[in-house]
Amino acid sequence: MTQPSFMTLALREAERAAARDEVPVGAVIVGPDGKIWARDGNRTRELADPTAHAELLVIRAAAARLGSERLIGFDLYVTLEPCAMCAAALSFARLRRLYFAASDRKMGGVEHGPRFFSQPTCHHAPEVYGGLGETAAEALLKQFFRNRR
């Protein structure tokens, strides 16, 4: 499967999150075998868990499946720039590549604010590719927050 297809699936998870009245962010994690190991969207409200961002859910699911806290050679596709919490978790999990769609000026931790991967306290940084499928991901987020106001 090509990269845009994984992002399309992440976007589908974001749409499902919106349908659950969660902030519409979705993520897909792909193993070194090129297969999807986990896919999910935000569930902070449903699970009453402030850490239940899409990225953390798929990292935890893939690590549990693999039986290791290190996801060597795994790639993550997410519809929004990860926050500092998720960026640090990606680093701890030793992910290979991060693909994200929309930028997040308000909460982002990769290209904004802490820029976690550039910190001296970051000991593993994935390769980062931003902007894939940005328009669709942004439209979904904008619509969600417009409806809430």
Q: Which residues are catalytic?
A: 55
Contact residues for 59 (Cβ-Cβ < 8 A; gap 6+): 29, 38, 71, 76, 89, 90, 93, 95
Asked if 60 touches a second copy (CB under 8 A), the answer is yes
Asked if 38 touches a second copy (CB under 8 A), the answer is no
In contact, 73 and 96? CB cutoff 8 Å: yes
Sheet holding 127-130, edge to edge: 36-41, 26-30, 75-80, 97-102, 127-130
Question: How many Å apart are CA 67 and CA 16, to the nearest integer?
Answer: 28
Q: In 3-state terms, what secondary structure has residue 126?
A: coil
Asked if 34 touches a second copy (CB under 8 A), the answer is no
Select the span of 2-10, 13-21, 81-89, 137-145 touching a second copy (CB under 8 A): 81-89
Give the residue, chosen from 89, 98, 101, 137, that forms a contact with a second copy under the rule CB under 8 A. 89
Asked if 92 touches a second copy (CB under 8 A), the answer is yes
Interface with a second copy: number of residues (CB under 8 A): 42
Taking the least distance from each CB to a second copy, the nearer of 11 and 102 is: 102
Amino acid occupying residue 59: I
Which residues of this protein are in contact with a second copy, per CB under 8 A? 44-45, 47-52, 56, 59-60, 63-64, 66-71, 83-89, 92-93, 106-109, 112-116, 119-123
